[in-house]
Amino acid sequence: MLKLERRATPSSIMSVASPLLAAVGMLITGFVLFKVLGKDPVEAFYLFFVKPVSTTYGIGELLLKTTPLLLCGLGLALGFRANVWNIGAEGQLTMGAIAGGGVALWFGDSESAFALPLMLLAGVLGGMAWAAIPAFLRTRFNTNEILVTLMLVYISQLVLSWLVHGPWRDPQGLNYPQSQGFGDAETMSILISGTRVTWGIVYALGLALVAWIFSQKTFAGFRMQVAGLAPAAAAYAGFSEKRNIWIALMICGATAGLAGVCEVAGPIGRLQQQISPGYGFAAIIVAWIGRLHPIGVVFGALLMSLLYLGGEAAQMGMGLPSAITGLFQGLLLFYLLAADLFITFRLKRVAPVEVNTLKPPVRAETAA
């Protein structure tokens, strides 16, 4: 008989192995799913996971989609570590895109060298401003940030929709809900020729390094980690909970806002009704898969980006809806949560007990 037993100390091996186990679980489920749908699983796997990245252009696309996922994932991971449940990175991304796009439209046909830096700055500030709302409401009015950040996603998307249907609509755009295209001075330059990947990925990777230094080497990062792992200890040490909440939300607002402006100043090149196919939500999974660790998040973002590419390929090559991406993403997170059990527990073989011992029942209540 197998029994779950709590480990004396959490297993560090399992904490790295569990995302891999989750990925394997997802692949097995995907295999079965393709089989059930009447597709040849081997061919489907090739089309989904290998073919999209078999060309230079494909690698470029992978890095292109990795950029927003990585940026949002980094910010979210820092927050989740401190028990700040910001799930509205999608909204902060949208606001970043709006703010950066607004600056681009203001510059118009100007060739100014300030255009792009100011756009990026505006994007960062836009995301931060949007994240400041839940931070203020949580610290001042004790309002749950999960619900507030999520509601703000819907509001930001409606603001964007209003702008591209109304004041910012391109007069020459044949009534399409989109703004004027940005000029060269308002577009990020291409990193690898022959692809669409921009310098955004370099910024994102640089920020991953910065985030690693912040969380591992600074006192502020340490305070946030303690607040997440042992809130009581953090309070006893006098670490301000409010400061942690503000830092967590401001950082995520900044990175998500940057992600948004990198999208509109990069592959999209204008403001339009849809900026992101749910990068901000997928980044939640990226953060968990990456173990809330900046370096792990890089790998998580690459994997998630591959799932997006695979979904697109499945739609074109197999006639499957691209929503299969969302399905795989959800599965991955479920498997990860289940596999994480083995970080704190282990399976132990126990012999069936014959004698009824008069041991008092042991109870334990663990905080989630």
Interacting residue ranges for other proteins, rule: CB under 8 A: 85, 87, 137, 141-144, 146-148, 150-152, 154-155, 158-159, 161-162, 165-166, 281, 284-285, 288, 321, 323-331, 333-334, 337-338, 340-341, 361-368
Task: Give 196 or 315: the residue with its C-beta nearer to other proteins.
Answer: 315
Task: Give 25 or 183: the residue with its C-beta nearer to other proteins.
Answer: 25
How far apart are the C-alpha atoms of 106 and 103, rounded to whole Å? 5
Q: What does DSSP say about strands 2-6 and 345-349: parallel, antiparallel, or unpaired? A: antiparallel
Task: Give 85 or 246: the residue with its C-beta nearer to other proteins.
Answer: 85
| Rg of the chain, C-alpha, whole Å | 23
Task: Give 138 or 270: the residue with its C-beta nearer to other proteins.
Answer: 138
- Nearest approach in angstroms of CB 317 to other proteins is 16
Task: Give 143 or 183: the residue with its C-beta nearer to other proteins.
Answer: 143
264 class by beta-carbon count within 10 Å (0-12 exposed, 13-18 middle, 19+ buried): buried
Task: Give 166 or 171: the residue with its C-beta nearer to other proteins.
Answer: 166
- Nearest approach in angstroms of CB 221 to other proteins is 21
Task: Give 99 or 148: the residue with its C-beta nearer to other proteins.
Answer: 148
Helix (H) or strand (E) holding 347: strand 345-349
109 class by beta-carbon count within 10 Å (0-12 exposed, 13-18 middle, 19+ buried): exposed
Q: Which residue has the tokens 């660790």?
A: 293
Whether 58 and 309 have beta carbons less than 8 Å apart is answered as yes
- Nearest approach in angstroms of CB 236 to other proteins is 20
- Nearest approach in angstroms of CB 115 to other proteins is 28
- Nearest approach in angstroms of CB 167 to other proteins is 10
Query: Structure tokens of 182?
Result: 């940005």
- Nearest approach in angstroms of CB 214 to other proteins is 23
Task: Give 88 or 96: the residue with its C-beta nearer to other proteins.
Answer: 88
Q: Which residue has the tokens 């995520």?
A: 252
Among 152, 95, 81, residue whose Cα is nearest residue 127: 95
Helix (H) or strand (E) holding 358: none
Region of residue 194 (phi > 0: left; psi between -120 and 50: alpha; otherwise: beta): left
- Nearest approach in angstroms of CB 326 to other proteins is 3
- Nearest approach in angstroms of CB 359 to other proteins is 9
How far apart are the C-alpha atoms of 47 and 188, rounded to whole Å? 30
For 348, residues 6+ apart whose C-beta sits below 8 A from its C-beta are: 2, 3, 4, 5
Query: Structure tokens of 7?
Result: 């480990």
